[in-house]
Amino acid sequence: MVIKLEKTDVENRIKEIIEQLKPFLISDGGTLDYVEFKDGIVYVKLGGACKGCTFLDVTLKDGIEQMLTNEIPEVKEVRNINE
């Protein structure tokens, strides 16, 4: 049985996971901020050293998105609003 979470519950869980991921990005000079969750898409803002990094897409899709979609079924995609 799959239990569907309310949007606020999903957003709170997203924020918790983002807070867990932040130290890894900060240690490399980057920043990560939650912006919004809408229609299954999490919008984040990657900044600092992440902004010009050639590994931005890898970090976004293979790191942040992978973690969020594995942990929260309601999350279908993660997009960086700085693009």
pLDDT on residue 7: 66
Q: What does pTM read for this prediction?
A: 0.86
Return the CATH superfamily for domain 7-80: Fe-S cluster assembly (FSCA) (3.30.300.130)
Q: Which of 14, 4, 72, 13 is nearest to 43 (CA)?
A: 14
- Residue by residue, DSSP assigns 16-64 as HHHHHHHHHHHTTTEEEEEEEEETTEEEEEEEETTTT-TTHHIIIIIII
User: pLDDT for 10-26, tens place per residue?
Assistant: 999 999 999 999 999 99
% of the chain residues with pLDDT over 70? 90
Q: Is the pLDDT score of 3 beyond 90?
A: no
Burial of 61 (0-12, 13-18, 19+ CB in 10 A): middle
